[in-house]
Amino acid sequence: MSKVHTDYYGTHMKFTEYPKFGVLSGVKVVMTGINIAGPYVGSLMSEMGAQALQIEHPLQPCSTRGNYGYSQEHRNGFSVAIDTKSARGQEVFKKILGWADIWIESGRPGMYAKMGLSDEFIWENVNKKLSIVHVSGYGQYGPDKDKAAYDVSGQAMGGYMYLNGTSPTSAPLKVNPYLSDYATALNATICALSLLHHATVTGEGDSVDISQYETMFKLLGSYPADWFNRSYPAPGEPVRWRTGNVSDQAAAFSFYDCKDGGTIFIGCVGPGNVKRGFPLFGLPLPGTTDPDIYDNFGGCLITLPVGQRIEAAIKKFCMERTVDEVEAELNAAGIPNQKAFGPEDILKNEQYAAREDIITWTDSVYGEMKGYGVMNKFKKNPAKIVASAPTIGEHNIEVFKALGFDDKFIDDMYEAGEFSGMDPKETAERWRLKEWQFFWRPDQAEKLGL
């Protein structure tokens, strides 16, 4: 068992017994949303010690349930499934917001304000220090605010797809898997913690409006400044930035094919790298025999004649060697390189193993699983995985009682269908995990009585 699991508590974590660990110990986060961009924020924080509670509707669970993603991405989490539009459900919801330090919501813009839960109402009547993060496809205002959105909506409108393609004349290309969702979650995490700091200092909450398309637009680097100050292609014209695995700008800064079919990134730019790398590729040392490769040469545009000469030399070098041979020679010379990893490379890689990036844990539905571990290595207060992902509504009763609701209130909610939950067997049946072949061993289904 990985070291990261020395404090593993089993498949069910009691709501009132969350262990203290990590740099966010004591921080309380609630998420309302059913996709990745919002709820994943709580998952990221929970690895760092925050207590993260996801609220789902009994009839509309998180859309990442029913596959491996939820089991991997919602470890350490808590779940309640309540109808927040019912009177009792809203009472519980307000109590939860009063308990929380941070609220991540990713519903339709204005949805909670229409329920009477505007930011201002919450600060004045529920929790004056609450940090509120609104996550949506297009933002809380503007003519597109009510458009439905998924991950690819952000990639498409943000210009990210426009940049990517296999050739200047190819169609725009989306990036897998769900880049806009995950980038937005990381953006939202930064903003949530910034809001929390502000509330700690001032004693007052604030909110932030985060959109997926703006998150992706902000990731375009220098390109918007280039487009809007110089030029960009007219409709129907080739898009010169769509060059696939080849750099659209720099020579010696692309992926190159090797004789065994492998592909490897080489970044031989900068005077030091050029000085060490060019002799390997059969190119002259800067400042010696070639006026185009002058003293202290650090690289050039791929479109220039000298850039094309450099590209041809590197391609020839790679096609005469296997990808492992290229990697070994470049590593020995100190030239930045990285072959494109697949699953087997990741599983066998010593760097991954040394940093415990692949771990095994026990999921309440699937049993023993293997997947990614804790990515950020804190020195004094390490992040941890201490519980498996919860089934929907797994912590209903525990949360209600911890918030002060009595048995009659809870029974009345249950009888009215205002909350519900599923155990592991019901989870597998609801999402047809056996029929759809999500189990990879027969005993997984047998343990659940299926």
Catalytic residues: 181
* DSSP assignment string, 219-270: TTTTHHHHHHHT--PPTTS--TT--TTS-SSBTTEEEEE-TTS-EEEEE--S
Interatomic CA distance for residues 309 and 251, integer angstroms = 9
Give yes or no for a contact between 323 and 262, defined as CB atoms under 8 angstroms apart. Answer: yes
- Spell out the residues 6+ positions from residue 224 whose beta carbon is closer than 8 angstroms to its own: 159, 217
Tokens, residue 358 = 């692949």
Tokens, residue 51 = 């207590």
- Percent helix, strand, coil in the chain (nearest 5)? 35, 15, 50
Interatomic CA distance for residues 440 and 434, integer angstroms = 9
Count of helices and strands (H, E) across the chain: 19, 11
Give yes or no for a contact between 395 and 79, defined as CB atoms under 8 angstroms apart. Answer: yes
Angle at 124 between CA 122 and CA 125, to 5 degrees: 65
* DSSP assignment string, 359-425: EEEEETTTEEEEEE---S--SSS-----SPPPPTTTTHHHHHHHTT--HHHHHHHHHTTSB----HH
Q: Is 119 left (phi over 0), alpha (psi -120 to 50) or beta?
A: alpha
- Spell out the residues 6+ positions from residue 16 whose beta carbon is closer than 8 angstroms to its own: 398, 402
Give the 3-state secondary structure of residue 30: strand
Interatomic CA distance for residues 269 and 21, integer angstroms = 43
**Residues 439-443: contacts with CB under 8 Å, at least 24 apart:** 439/366, 443/367
Count of beta carbons in the 10 Å neighbourhood of residue 361: 24
Interatomic CA distance for residues 228 and 171, integer angstroms = 22
């993060």: which residue's tokens? Answer: 133
């990731």: which residue's tokens? Answer: 219
